[in-house]
A and B are shown apart, each in its own frame.
Chain A
Amino acid sequence: MRKLIALICACVFCFSFKANAIDASKAEDFVKKVTTEGVEEIVNSTASIEEKDARFEKLFNEYLDLDYIGRFVLGRYWKTASDKQKDDFIKVYREFNTKTWSKRFDEFKGKSFDFNGTTPSNSEGQIFVNTSVKMNEGEPVKVLWRVKDGGQMKIVDIVIENVSLAITARNEYTAYIKQAPGGLDDLIKDLKEKSK
């Protein structure tokens, strides 16, 4: 009798555990889709710069969870921000990133991503997809894509050779806000300037 109860509990546990786990192969396929689209439609495409920028913006907004990332990079300053500040920041952060990243297309010309499986994350519903990019010189660069499944799959971080872009941005922005006389508002203004 006890064994039966234990078995049932184990099964229940299994099912509830699975409900929170993210599907590794699905995540890998998702990143494959994103990188293929990115490389084919943008980096290697012969379309005009305006067309490329537009495509990139669409890809960027569709596949990255910028709300999640924006909240993360403000760190403790998100909790003390007003609703208007939060809105403004997410908006300007989105614009700023689109502009900055679209300038880097040429660096990826002719490069392709090799996929090397996945690594589990300690965060619920998230997983790392491992890729590497062969360079002209030296060893291939390890790029990890942190994928979150909140109903729809989205990328929430990119880790290049152990350097997380989200953590780097958070360190940068919290340091900036700490130093700036106007705090978060100064940051929003500065990012707006840089997005022009």
Chain B
Amino acid sequence: MKNKIILLSVLFLLASCATNPNGTKMKISDEESKLEIYNRAMFNFNYQFDKMVLKPVAKGYKSVTTQSIRNRVTNFFNNLEEPAYAINNLLQGEMKSSGLSVARFAVNSTLGLLGTFDVAEGWGLEKKKNSFDATMALYCTPDGPFIVMPILGPSTPRYLIGWGVDSMTDPMYWALWDKQDEDWAVALSYGGTALKYINKRAENMALLDSLEEGSVDYYATIKAAFMQNRQKFQSLCDSKNTESQATASYDFDFEDEED
């Protein structure tokens, strides 16, 4: 718990470093190329770790499970994220969505057999995905630079803070809160996390493989895709300022040059 707080404080500092005091973007400087050197090195480390450990395990997992089983696992972990959706919808003023997330969690956890079946969807209760990352974006918190974290992979300071905060709303976290000394609880907690990420890795294998095959600079491809995908958060902030006519990030002008 204490480690999480330290991590979050460091990340808050990083996020505030991302823009100049007057709000303009930082010019490319030595700082940024140092970060790039670090990023590429860490990306490489992660890639090797994935190749040696995570991917083989995920492949093994894939071979002993069916798509149907993996869907149940995916649903189970998705269901545990509904409280985070509910809270963040509330923080963003989306009352109806917040209510839907609460209802979904209740229905799926019980009738959906601990969330393994998304029965709520069939009842017309739509998933309203949200995160603390998005909540911060709505209040125009800057994203910060692209940073590759060990094992966790691509991220930005705001992404990491969002991830940290949302993980505190994980029901498993609270269920095992006062049992931290018990071996079975610790095993369950670590085992659950491992299963979550192995399942995720198995499910995204085809996509990542084809992405890697089609790239000459895998790091640059991942970075570009990751950061572009985050542009959707920018529109949350922009929608509050009705004066700024933000064009879509993918709407490039042919003469547009960025580094």
Q: A residues within 8 Å of B by Cβ?
A: 68, 71-72, 75-76, 100, 103-104, 107, 119, 121-123, 128, 137, 139, 144, 146, 157, 159, 161-164, 166-168, 171-176, 179, 187, 190-191, 194
Contact = CB atoms under 8 A, between A and B. Distances in A.
B251 A123 contact: yes
Interface string B224-254: 1100110110000000000000011111111
Contacts of B229: 161-163
A163 B229 CA distance: 6
B189 interface: no
A172 B252 contact: no
Contacts of A157: 250, 252
A126 to B, nearest CB: 9
B213 A164 contact: no
B130 interface: no
Contacts of B221: 168, 171-172
Contact of A172 (B74, B224, B251, B254): B224
Interface of B: 71, 74, 127, 206, 210, 213-217, 219-221, 223-225, 228-229, 231-232, 247-254, 257, 259
B71 A137 contact: yes
Contact of A123 (B206, B215, B223, B254): B254
B257 A173 contact: no
Contact of B228 (A100, A119, A162, A194): A162
- The 10 residue pairs across chains A and B that have the minimum distance between CB atoms: A164-B250, A171-B224, A175-B220, A100-B214, A172-B220, A168-B224, A176-B217, A163-B228, A159-B250, A172-B221
Contacts of A175: 217, 219-220
Contacts of B248: 119
At the interface, is chain A mostly helix, strand, loop or mixed?
helix
22 contacts: A72-B254, A103-B213, A107-B206, A107-B210, A122-B251, A123-B251, A128-B251, A144-B250, A162-B229, A162-B249, A163-B228, A163-B250, A164-B250, A166-B252, A167-B252, A168-B221, A168-B224, A172-B215, A172-B224, A176-B216, A187-B216, A191-B216
B223 A171 contact: yes
A146 B254 CA distance: 13
A163 B219 CA distance: 16
A188 to B, nearest CB: 10
Contacts of B223: 171
Contacts of B247: 122
Given A167-B228, A174-B259, A194 B254 contact: no
A72 B224 contact: no
